[in-house]
Amino acid sequence: MHFLIRLSHKLLRQSTYLLLINTVLLVAVSSTAAYLLEPDTFGNWFNAMWWVMTTIATVGYGDYYPVTPAGKGLAMLLYVFGIGLLSLLIGKIIDAAAELQRRRGSGKLKYGGQGHIIVINWSTKTKLAVEEILSSSSQADILIIDHGEKHPFDHPRVHFVSGDAASEDVLEQASITTASSAIIFADGSIDDSSLVDGKSLLIASSVERAAPNVHTTVEIMLEKHIPSFRHVQVNDFILSHDAVSRLAVRSALGEGNNDLIHQLLSRQHGYEVIEVNIEPGWSTYREAFDALLKQGATLIADRSDMGINSRLDDAIPEDARLYVLADPLRYFPTKNR
64 with 89, same domain? yes
63 with 133, same domain? no
Is residue 197 included in any domain, yes or no? Answer: yes
Is residue 229 included in any domain, yes or no? Answer: yes
CATH of the domain at 71: 1.10.287.70
Is residue 89 included in any domain, yes or no? Answer: yes
For 71-129, what is each residue's pLDDT tens digit? Answer: 889 888 888 788 878 878 888 778 777 777 777 778 888 898 899 999 999 988 889 88
Higher pLDDT, residue 198 or 252: 198
Higher pLDDT, residue 49 or 188: 49
pTM (2 decimals)?
Answer: 0.60
pLDDT at 10: 57
257 pLDDT more than 70: no
Is residue 261 included in any domain, yes or no? Answer: no
105, 133, 165 — which closes off a domain?
105
66, 82, 105 — which closes off a domain?
105
pLDDT at 267: 56
Task: Report, in angstroms and rounded to the nearest whole number, the Rg of the chain calculated over CA atoms.
Answer: 32
277 with 315, same domain? yes
Range of the domain at 334: 271-337
278 with 336, same domain? yes
225 with 279, same domain? no
For 17-70, what is each residue's pLDDT tens digit? Answer: 787 888 888 889 999 999 999 998 899 999 999 998 888 888 888 888 888 899
Average pLDDT over residues 171-199: 90
CATH of the domain at 235: 3.40.50.720
For 275-320, what is each residue's pLDDT tens digit? Answer: 888 998 899 999 999 999 888 888 989 987 888 988 999 999 988 9
What is the count of structural domains for the chain? 3
Is residue 63 included in any domain, yes or no? Answer: yes
Is residue 58 included in any domain, yes or no? Answer: yes
| pLDDT above 90: percentage of residues in the chain | 32
Is residue 208 included in any domain, yes or no? Answer: yes
Is residue 254 included in any domain, yes or no? Answer: no
136 with 33, same domain? no
76, 105, 134 — which closes off a domain?
105
